[in-house]
């Protein structure tokens, strides 16, 4: 009987032969254990297997090196470019503040148009509006006309002008004025500040009220100026430097800051054909000082020295036969009787090299330094006579020219 019993493989209890599930633990007594089939793999020749494995390892290493140093050879790279928002909206608002104050200036001599330039209304007193421009714009004029942005053309009066400062002031009836330009400060302006100019370059009938933009490139620049067509300099001006484009016809127009305030008077006379990206402007403080002097009915009186002079640099090895080791200074060719120079003991043949310890390189710098003083000031001059250095004090008086 025991041979017909089923032994549970799990709990090892006996069950009847026809029992399907163990009466003790419920295990299926008819389920047979799966036998794993043994797979016989073919034998591989080691001499063939080793080179194959080596080949795959080498290929993997090569792939890694290439992907490290030049990933574009392995995969396509997609570049995503972001949209850029330009935040600089321009200076249109600033331009509008001064635009209608700018005028075109026409210089007529004997009913013939001699030259044109630019100016701007800087002041009005209820009766008159006053326009600043450059002296060289209205020089030799019998009549001067201005044109406003609305097309109105008016004849104006010349209140005053000065060749050394290159400032001129015009007046027109106040009821003709459209706008007065806001005035800023060149002294508070910083290098790198945005600047712009408005003017009538080249052909004023085509390009009037053109706007150009740049930055303030420099301050207190000393620039030599020729008051005539000669190659030598007659005077030195202290000016602002800008890379704002200034062309012929822009002279006398405003140089403004980014707030639309005038900080200078553009001056094409200080530029030349071999200068690019360098424009110059007279500081607004200087221009208004001279302009108000004329509006108040006064004249510009400068110190007077009373000598005729030549630059040492021009006279060395010349027909004058001057023998000196000096390379800078001014040679006194003649001295006026009873002049400040004569009273101080200066003589023909003396060479002036300094004024109050400020170096005098030529006649242009002598005038510049001299005109920094007021009438009645006492100034120390350093000069050479017969190759010996001397000093003397000159008391300055007034006269129209040096």
Of all residues in the chain, the percent with pLDDT exceeding 70 is: 76
251 is catalytic: yes
Of residues 391 and 275, more confidence is placed in 391
With 80 as the cut, is the pLDDT of residue 100 above it?
Answer: yes
Percent over 90 (pLDDT), the chain: 58
Query: What confidence tens digit (pLDDT) does each residue in 20-74 have?
Result: 677 777 676 666 554 454 545 555 555 665 666 666 676 666 655 555 555 544 4
Task: Examine domains 90-296 and 302-399 and report if their fold is the same.
Answer: no
Show me where the domains of the chain are located: 1-39, 41-74, 90-296, 302-399
- Three-state SS for the chain is CHHHCEECCCCCCEECCCCCECCCCCCECCCCCCCCCCCCCCCCCHHHHHHHHHHHHHHHHHHHHHHHHCHHHCCCCCCCCCCCCCCCCCCHHHHHHHHCCEEEEEEEECCEEEEEEEEEEEEECCCEEEEEECHHHHCCCCEEEEECCCCCEEEEEEEEEECCCCEEEEEEEHHHCCCCCCECCCCCCCCCCEEEEEECCCCHHHHCCEEEEEEEEEEEEEEEECCCCCCCCCEEEEEEEECCCCCCCCCCCEEEECCCCEEEEECHHHCCCCCCCCEEEEEHHHHHHHHHHHHCCCCCCEEECCEEEEEHHHHECCCCCECCCCCCCEEEEEECCCCHHHHCCCCCCCEEEEECCEECCCHHHHHHHHCCCCCCCEEEEEEEECCEEEEEEEECEEECCC
| CATH T-level topology, domain 302-399 | Pdz3 Domain (2.30.42)
Query: How does pLDDT run across 379-399, given as a tens digit for each residue?
Result: 999 999 998 999 999 999 987
- Whole-number Cα distances in Å, 154 to 103, 160, 172: 10, 18, 8
Mean pLDDT, rounded, of the chain: 84
DSSP symbols for 315-326: HBTSTT-B--S-
For the segment 122-134, the average pLDDT, to the nearest whole number, is 96
Q: Is the pTM of this model over 0.85?
A: no
Task: Pick the catalytic residue from 115, 161, 166, 171.
Answer: 166
pLDDT digits (tens, 9 = 90+) for 331-378: 999 999 999 999 999 999 999 999 998 999 999 999 999 999 999 999
- Determine the pLDDT at residue 181: 97
- pLDDT computed for residue 228 by the predictor: 66
Helices assigned H by DSSP within 103-185: 135-138
Calculate mean pLDDT across residues 97-113.
Answer: 96
Strands 307-311 and 351-355: unpaired
Q: Which of 161, 208, 210, 251 is catalytic?
A: 251
Q: Among 263, 293, 272, 279, which Cα is nearest to 120's?
A: 263
Q: Is 313 among the catalytic positions?
A: no
Q: How confident is the model at residue 272 (pLDDT cuts 50, 70, 90)?
A: low
Catalytic residue among 136, 171, 217, 363: 136
Residue 180 has phi, psi (to 5 degrees) of: -110, 130
Most confident of 124-133, 224-233, 239-248: 124-133
pLDDT in tens, 66-82: 555 555 444 444 555 55
Is 166 tagged catalytic?
Answer: yes
> What dotted CATH number matches 90-296?
2.40.10.120
């Amino acid at each position: 009987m025991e041979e017909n019993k089923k032994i549970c493989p799990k709990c090892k209890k006996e069950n009847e032969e026809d029992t399907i599930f163990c009466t003790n633990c419920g295990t299926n007594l008819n389920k047979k254990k799966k036998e794993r089939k043994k797979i016989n793999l073919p034998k591989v020749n080691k001499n063939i297997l080793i080179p194959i494995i080596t080949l795959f390892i080498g290929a993997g290493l090569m792939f890694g090196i290439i992907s490290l140093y030049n990933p574009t050879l392995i995969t396509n790279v997609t570049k995503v470019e972001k949209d850029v928002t330009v935040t600089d909206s321009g200076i249109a608002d600033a331009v509008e503040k001064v635009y209608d104050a700018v005028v075109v200036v026409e210089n007529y001599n004997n009913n013939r148009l001699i030259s044109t330039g630019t100016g701007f209304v800087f002041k009005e007193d209820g009766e008159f509006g006053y326009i600043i421009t450059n002296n060289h714009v209205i020089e030799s004029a019998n009549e001067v006309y201005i044109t406003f942005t609305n097309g109105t053309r008016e004849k104006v009066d010349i209140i005053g002008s000065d060749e050394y400062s290159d400032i001129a002031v015009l007046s027109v009836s106040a009821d003709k004025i459209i706008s007065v330009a806001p005035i800023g400060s060149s002294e508070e302006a910083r290098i790198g500040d945005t600047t712009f100019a408005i003017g009538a370059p080249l052909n004023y009938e085509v390009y009037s009220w053109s706007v150009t933009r740049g930055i303030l490139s420099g301050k207190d620049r000393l620039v030599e100026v020729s008051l005539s067509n000669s190659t030598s300099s007659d005077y030195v001006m202290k000016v602002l430097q800008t890379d704002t484009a200034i062309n012929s016809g822009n002279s006398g127009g405003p140089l403004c800051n980014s707030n639309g305030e005038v900080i200078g008077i553009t001056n094409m006379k200080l530029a030349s054909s071999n200068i690019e990206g360098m424009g110059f402007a007279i500081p607004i403080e200087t221009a208004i000082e001279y302009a108000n002097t004329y509006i108040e009915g006064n004249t510009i009186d400068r110190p007077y020295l009373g000598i005729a002079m030549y630059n040492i640099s021009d006279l060395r090895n010349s027909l004058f036969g001057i023998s000196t080791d000096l390379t800078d200074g001014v040679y006194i060719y003649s001295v006026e009787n009873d002049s400040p120079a004569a009273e101080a003991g200066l003589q023909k043949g003396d060479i002036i090299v300094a004024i109050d310890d400020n170096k005098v390189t030529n006649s242009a710098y002598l005038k510049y330094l001299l005109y920094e003083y007021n009438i009645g000031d006492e100034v120390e001059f350093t000069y050479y006579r017969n190759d010996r250095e001397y000093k003397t004090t000159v008391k300055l008086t007034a006269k129209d020219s040096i």
